[in-house]
Structure 1
Amino acid sequence: MEIFSFLSMEDNKNPFFFIFSTLFIVFLSLIIWSYLKRFRQSLPPGPLGVPLLGNLPFIDPQLHFYFTGLAKKYGPIISTYLGLKLVVVVSSSSLVREVLRDKDAIFANRDVPVSAYNLMYGGEDIAFTPNCPKLTMMRKVTTQELLGGATLQTVQGLRKMEVRAMIKRVKKKEGEITDMSVEIFTTMFKVITSMLWGGGTDEKGGEASVQDLTEFKDVISDMAVLSGKPDLSDFFPFLEWMDLQGVKKEAKFLNKRFDGIFEQILSGKVSNDGKDFLDVLMQIEKRGDENGITKNNIKAILLDFVTAGTDTTSSTIEFAVCEMLRNPDIMNKVQEELDRVVGSDTIVEERHISDLHYLYAVFEETLRLYPPIPFLIPHSNSEASNIGGYNIPARTRILINVWSIHRDPQVWEDPLVFKPERFIKDGGGKTYKTSDFKYFPFGSGRRMCVGMVMAHKMFMYVMASLLHSFNLRMPEGHQLDFTQKFGMVLQKKTPLQIIPSKRLSKIQLYD
């Protein structure tokens, strides 16, 4: 070819010129091969990247911003190679419907990152177990024995005790700068662990100290960040043994932090005659059913709920409070509703929640702007399939870009404005359907979050109690910081620090 004729010129005898030319030809050939490969496979459009590395050198660790930017450039479905891993990102409600409803059975599997595999006992939890009869059994047991309506009603007193304990702690810090992220996390952590195994969260099975709880919060936050961190071992599986970024090592270290506690709790269960969730799991393990639960399953499921049950709700509450501090009129509306529904001479009870329509709209608007898991947990297809007319090879990593869909200006008016009113319809009722896939913070289909009802109850009860009891303001000289820390779970980068002051005149309402 004429383009390469310069290589035959007699005066080009410099060995460095020859090496450079050879590498150039190889590089150009690989680019052409990559284009032809994409064309032959009829993959969705997307950035080509460079040979072997794909788009890996250009990726931004803040993946929700990065892939949303690519969607604006290439369209609602894109594909890109990160190393040897093909990743498809879906950013439109119509295409999400194909994945999570029409072809849910095919796309209901998981592409388990190395980090999650080592954090979650080999991916034996509910979140990462493949789509199989065992997963169906684990979800059923969890729904019936832990998160079902009857069970949640049974432990209503437990939730009240911990929320009132939070109000009492915050009252003692009146007028002082208070780290609300710790207070909210502590409440959620105690509720969840009490529901799971009756409480007791240090390595001796006793009550966790404030220092322990702060450490747990940091560990869980690190786990969420690590799970969403791009890792070379995922993109070049033959490099996993080298653990070049130390992700596997860190994941095992974080897992070990909780494993000691779980081992202590399991060994302390003298009998399985109790009625907490752990007792139920241990009874199933003892039976040894065909699709039964192993000890690692038990520990992985406990870790699932300790992390997801605390981190996601805590983060959502923090973002909601931040938005209300930025929009005082919204906080005023919430408190006016609380005064009307609850009154000022009593405390918030869970029975009040169903009448707090505006606060519920705040909850839903917070989930819209700050979906707890911006891409859901990575899906994978069990067989070759098709999305939007494009071929998707088997075992592709599928990311559902909830973040982008929830902020789509073609779907939402003023999408970046925090406006709870968009979730209130004249005459009551919701302004959206989960089936249209324009709003689905908890996912959909077979892998939909099993903790949705619990998250709703805890957000509403904690927020109602907090805003009914206190006025909240930022410390002098402090600025609201909405900077996000991307991971499997979306978090605020800096803890929420505020100054509380009491709203209620009767001091006994704080006891």
Structure 2
Amino acid sequence: MAMMSFYYILLALAFFLISLHLLSQRKKNLPPNGPLCLPIIGHLYLFKRPLHSTLARIADQYGPILFLRLGSRPVLLVSSSSAAEECFTTNDVIFANRPRLLVGKYLGNNYSSLVWASYGHHWRALRRIATLEFFSPSRFEMFAGVRAAEVRSLVRRLFLITGGNSKVEMKKMFSELTLNVMMRTIAGKRYYGDDGDDGDVEEPEKGRRLRRIMEELFAVGGLINVGDFMPVLNSVRYFNKGLEEKLAKVQEERDKFMQELIEEHRMARSATDSAERKKTLIDVMLSLRETEPEFYTEDVIRSILEVLISAGADTTGGTMEWAMSLLLNHPEVLKKAQAEIDACVGQTRLLTESDLANLPYLHGIINETLRMHPAAGAIIPPHESSEECTIGGFTVPCRTTLLVNLWAIQYDPKLWEEPTKFKPERFEITSTGGVGKEAGCKMMPFGWGRRRCPGESLAMRVVGLALGSLIQCFDWERSGEEMVDLTEGTGITLPKAQPLEARCKPRAIMLNLLSQL
């Protein structure tokens, strides 16, 4: 009897707390609370994989602007283009911070990297460096030869192994291409592929080591730490020790790998006339350190270079894999893209970056791929409000984590006709070589506002050049009669669950050119 009374008291207390919370919510004019908010855990019980689909169903039922509680953390869930636009335009500065999550402590250099630093002088300095030193037109021009050489090398490799109608694992090919582009740009190193005129493969063991680090990074970086939402658990001994150890280990390995490259360049700079050496981004960073040593510390240099590799390689390779998967399931689109390239480029030379501006249908394919499978994931990386603001007429408190369900927006039937269908034509008219601003916040695969990815232009160049070259040079077919499986796997960037395998053979009209590579 006493035990029953105890349970009644607990139940009454729970209802009392919920009532107080709802009353407080009405007084503050907070956004709708959505589903039942449980004591202590809040809405954490609702979070099930795939997260973007779960959150979209909640938004369909309760509305596009919801105020959730994940444990003790207040969260604004936005699932409409108009609300997202308010967040990233009118309130862009307010939402320019990042929440402090365990992953940011370790993989974000204690919340000081370009990805994880909150808005302020330090972040603005990092962003300025990225924009001016890495993603400026002059840098694009400086490393255009690297991108062209690596795509040419990929085409040559495929030509040599697909004399007939061979099956190829495209995930591996795309991964090696993007890592080679990034590492040759950053460090002048080429780790994958064949030796040839485009540069010999150096230290293949280091290439395997880098791939292992990247795989571990994205595996552990996508894990959820419950302690981020229920801090009291962090005080429980050994609660998240396993996750912390994994994060610390992969970051230690990444730091060590990058520091070795920096030391190699430092020694080479001191031993060789700089005019005789090909300049890399590490050289750029070391030159900047000579002028501003108080800012360009070893930690800052490593952090910037690590962000470039991790943010660029996996997302770019993944976009190419998704694009090719969609093309194999829609051969009529592939044939139309081939015809466009044949008309613009011909068969006497390989496609170049300068051709991309004249290939609107190819851009439509890339943009439609990014709509259906956004490069950085279906949920825009979390932001956090620095002060109270208003979204959709509702009050959003300071230090509220913002989650924008990009998948829900880019599949919204109110914004996109037949959103589940692959229709590159929807972008053909307005395509300008990237996900243009004319699309507004209904299309944000690279984010939006101040924290929009600065590497968007580079990614579009690499994807356009590589995908266009493969379409130009080869005929492609599915590896079997069944359609390519488009099931999404788990991870930060939502990779394909099953790596893409495809059959390809050189196009007859391209044989003469391919034999000369």
TM over 0.5: yes
Q: Separation in 2 of the partners of 1:430 and 1:311?
A: 18
Q: Separation in 1 of the partners of 2:418 and 2:439?
A: 22
Q: What is the letter of the counterpart of residue 207 of structure 1?
A: E
* 8 A Cα contact 1:422 1:431, kept in partner: no
In the TM superposition, residue 496 of structure 1 has moved relative to its aligned partner by 1.0
DSSP 3-state at the match of 2:94 = helix
Q: How does 1:158-169 map to 2 (within 5 A)?
A: 158-169=146-157
CA displacement, residues 123-180 of structure 1 (integer Å, 9 cap, x when unaligned): 3221111111222222222222211111111211111111111112222331332111
Q: Compute the RMSD of aligned alpha carbons.
A: 2.5
Q: What is the letter of the counterpart of residue 484 of structure 2?
A: L
The partner residue of 1:80 within 49, 68, 82 is 68
Q: Separation in 2 of the partners of 1:300 and 1:434?
A: 33
In the TM superposition, residue 391 of structure 1 has moved relative to its aligned partner by 1.5
Q: Separation in 2 of the partners of 1:285 and 1:226?
A: 32
The partner residue of 2:492 within 488, 493, 496 is 488
Q: What is the letter of the counterpart of residue 369 of structure 1?
A: M
Q: What is the letter of the counterpart of residue 404 of structure 2?
A: I
Name 1:258's counterpart in structure 2. Answer: 254
Q: 1:243 to 1:369 in 2, by over 3 A?
A: same
Name 1:179's counterpart in structure 2. Answer: 169
Q: Structure 1 length as normaliser, TM-score? A: 0.90
DSSP 3-state at the match of 2:37 = coil
Name 1:449's counterpart in structure 2. Answer: 453
Q: Separation in 1 of the partners of 2:348 and 2:115?
A: 43
Alignment gaps of 5+ in structure 1: 1-13
Q: 1:173 to 1:40 in 2, by over 3 A?
A: farther
Q: What is the letter of the counterpart of residue 458 of structure 1?
A: V
DSSP 3-state at the match of 2:491 = coil
Q: What is the letter of the counterpart of residue 195 of structure 1?
A: T
Q: 1:356 to 1:476 in 2, by over 3 A?
A: same
Name 1:191's counterpart in structure 2. Answer: 181
Q: What is the letter of the counterpart of residue 158 of structure 1?
A: V
* 8 A Cα contact 1:312 1:372, kept in partner: yes
CA displacement, residues 32-91 of structure 1 (integer Å, 9 cap, x when unaligned): 233234333322112233100011122113221111111111111112111111111112
Q: What is the letter of the counterpart of residue 23 of structure 1?
A: L
* 8 A Cα contact 2:367 2:435, kept in partner: no
Q: 1:427 to 1:233 in 2, by over 3 A?
A: closer
1:28 is the counterpart of 2:15: yes
1:223 is the counterpart of 2:217: yes
Q: Separation in 1 of the partners of 2:258 and 2:209?
A: 16
DSSP 3-state at the match of 2:93 = helix
1:337 is the counterpart of 2:360: no
1:295 is the counterpart of 2:298: yes
In the TM superposition, residue 432 of structure 1 has moved relative to its aligned partner by 7.1
Q: Separation in 1 of the partners of 2:382 and 2:317?
A: 22
Q: Separation in 2 of the partners of 1:58 and 1:500?
A: 44
1:154 is the counterpart of 2:160: no
In the TM superposition, residue 25 of structure 1 has moved relative to its aligned partner by 2.3
The partner residue of 1:506 within 489, 501, 512 is 512
* 8 A Cα contact 2:135 2:458, kept in partner: yes
In the TM superposition, residue 424 of structure 1 has moved relative to its aligned partner by 1.9
In the TM superposition, residue 478 of structure 1 has moved relative to its aligned partner by 5.6
1:140 is the counterpart of 2:135: no
Q: How does 1:280-429 map to 2 (within 5 A)?
A: 280-288=284-292, 292-373=295-376, 374-425=378-429
CA displacement, residues 440-492 of structure 1 (integer Å, 9 cap, x when unaligned): 22222211110011011001000011111111222236641111124332221
* 8 A Cα contact 2:435 2:443, kept in partner: no
Q: 1:471 to 1:490 in 2, by over 3 A?
A: same
Q: Separation in 1 of the partners of 2:493 and 2:327?
A: 22
Q: Structure 2 length as normaliser, TM-score? A: 0.89
Q: How does 1:6-25 map to 2 (within 5 A)?
A: 14-25=1-12
* 8 A Cα contact 2:360 2:429, kept in partner: no
* 8 A Cα contact 1:319 1:492, kept in partner: yes
Q: 1:465 to 1:118 in 2, by over 3 A?
A: same
In the TM superposition, residue 195 of structure 1 has moved relative to its aligned partner by 1.2
Q: What is the letter of the counterpart of residue 166 of structure 2?
A: E
Name 1:240's counterpart in structure 2. Answer: 234
1:39 is the counterpart of 2:29: no
CA displacement, residues 348-392 of structure 1 (integer Å, 9 cap, x when unaligned): 222221111110110111111111122222111111212111111
DSSP 3-state at the match of 2:442 = coil
In the TM superposition, residue 215 of structure 1 has moved relative to its aligned partner by 5.9
Q: Separation in 2 of the partners of 1:425 and 1:409?
A: 20
Q: What is the letter of the counterpart of residue 44 of structure 1?
A: P
Q: Separation in 2 of the partners of 1:427 and 1:450?
A: 19
User: Quick check: 338-347 or 444-453, which moved more?
Assistant: 338-347
DSSP 3-state at the match of 1:352 = helix
In the TM superposition, residue 223 of structure 1 has moved relative to its aligned partner by 2.9
The partner residue of 2:53 within 49, 53, 65 is 65
DSSP 3-state at the match of 1:472 = strand
In the TM superposition, residue 508 of structure 1 has moved relative to its aligned partner by 4.1
* 8 A Cα contact 2:40 2:71, kept in partner: yes
Q: Separation in 1 of the partners of 2:477 and 2:234?
A: 48
Q: 1:281 to 1:238 in 2, by over 3 A?
A: farther
Q: What is the letter of the counterpart of residue 472 of structure 1?
A: W
Q: Separation in 1 of the partners of 2:130 and 2:432?
A: 32
Name 2:202's counterpart in structure 1. Answer: 207
Q: Separation in 2 of the partners of 1:427 and 1:27?
A: 54
DSSP 3-state at the match of 1:411 = coil
In the TM superposition, residue 295 of structure 1 has moved relative to its aligned partner by 1.8
Name 1:7's counterpart in structure 2. Answer: none
Q: Separation in 2 of the partners of 1:37 and 1:223?
A: 41
* 8 A Cα contact 2:434 2:460, kept in partner: no
Q: How many residues align?
A: 493
DSSP 3-state at the match of 1:467 = helix
Q: Separation in 1 of the partners of 2:203 and 2:159?
A: 21
The partner residue of 1:472 within 476, 482, 503 is 476
The partner residue of 1:99 within 87, 91, 95 is 87
Alignment gaps of 5+ in structure 2: 193-200
